[in-house]
Amino acid sequence: MRLELHRIFVNKLAFGEKTGVKDGVLTIDKKELLDLISEDALLGKKLDVDLAMPGDSIRIVPVKDVIEPRWKIEGSGQVFPGMVSDVETVGEGKTLVLSGAAVVTAGKIVRFQEGIIDMSGPGADYTPYSQTCNVVLLLEPSDPGMDKHDYEAACRMAGLKAAAYLARCCAQANADRVDAFEHPNIREAMTLHPGLPKVGYLYMLQTQGLLHDTYLYGVDVKKILPTVVSPLEVMDGAIVSGNCVSACDKNSSYVHQNNPVIADMLKRHGKDFNFVTCIVTNENVTLADKRRSSSFATKLAAMLGLDGMVITEEGFGNPDADLIMNCWKAERLGIKTALLTDEYAGQDGASQSLADSCVEGDACVTAGNANEVIVLPPMKKVLGFAEEANVIAGGWQGSLVPDGTITVELQAITGSTSELGYTKLGAYTL
């Protein structure tokens, strides 16, 4: 497979009479975008769109998802397959990417499991989305009493449609840069690069139900058995988030589109190892489901003759059991593993970091301690509902004080401890 990402770099947003891009400025017809979103009767009449730029004194809260605007300009399938387009396979051809731009969906959905994006100040240092030019969809339900699942689906679709619309309107613009990626099919991969270890990527997706869901080609991943996909399919939008979970380690759709694990493994493919394939698995809630999925995922890895595997988690607590089960089952099949997770080690960092462990899990990368406390100073403008800081995970009653200052754990900051490593945190050796 060969995929070309035709990148147009966006460094400024503006409202105007016609949606398009020129000289790095993405201009948006606000009425046309609102008309598109308001086609869904489940969304109320209070819908609005606003803009947030890096460095602005703006707080966005509560944040549900972040999506990179894309449109397919050549090749099979279309963006967000199974959601806003047909279910044809993606991962090949040419896709237009509005790099530096993002669609942010904000509104009260599950409330306690949404997040905060500060565009400036100390909070901006912890979220990667303080560096994107954000088109913020402020969403409210037509009926406050409607089913949360229906409202989440409406918000999810609004964000995906908006992202596709913005890129489609720029489809005739010339790319600033074209990034080309190639990845062989499994038959070819098995004979390539003799002498290099065969390595795979086990991609754990949040699928615990109760609005803790992720979608592959439009299918709720909790309904599948682990399956093999090309890393280029992931890069081309085959996976989207439907999650209403803790903001710090929620893998937004943007992160799936720009998965840094896949990007880095492709760079090292043919040099340090033979990157054979990506295996997608789920994180269900019953012990039987965990056993089934972990056994099936590691069986696939063994059938492909993998020597090693990178495993990434999404979420914490219950999913830690899936992570560790995947680890020790793979290791006992002779497959070396490296784990990527974050920690919930208490505000002092002294508590147990994960809910489960095993002796085989001796190669583990941390994305940070989500319980670390931070003080967020007031912003001049709030997009959304500032009072939600008192109820979101990582906050508490009294987190928000009258002058607009918010004290929360990193858990409340969108993407701060992403378990795909798409973060602004780093580490050094003492």
Amino acid at 392: I
- Strand runs (DSSP E) across 24-176, as ranges? 25-28, 48-52, 58-67, 70-74, 93-99, 101-106, 115-118, 133-138
Among 133, 155, 169, 244, the active-site one is 244
Clarify whether 358 is annotated catalytic: no
Query: How much of the chain is helix, strand and coil, in % rounded to 5?
Result: 25, 35, 45
CB 316 within 8 A of CB 393: no
User: In 71-213, where does DSSP find H-type helix?
Assistant: 148-168, 186-189
CB 21 within 8 A of CB 8: yes
Residues 6+ away with beta carbon under 8 Å from 279:
200, 201, 202, 203, 226, 227, 228, 229, 297, 300, 301
Residues 6+ away with beta carbon under 8 Å from 210:
none
How far is Cα 117 from Cα 128, in angstroms, rounded to an integer?
9
How far is Cα 14 from Cα 5, in angstroms, rounded to an integer?
24
Strands 308-312 and 198-206: parallel
How far is Cα 378 from Cα 304, in angstroms, rounded to an integer?
53
Beta-carbon neighbour count of residue 374 at 10 Å? 18
Residues 6+ away with beta carbon under 8 Å from 5:
95, 97, 178, 179, 180, 181, 235
Give the 3-state secondary structure of residue 274: strand
Which residues form the catalytic set? Answer: 244
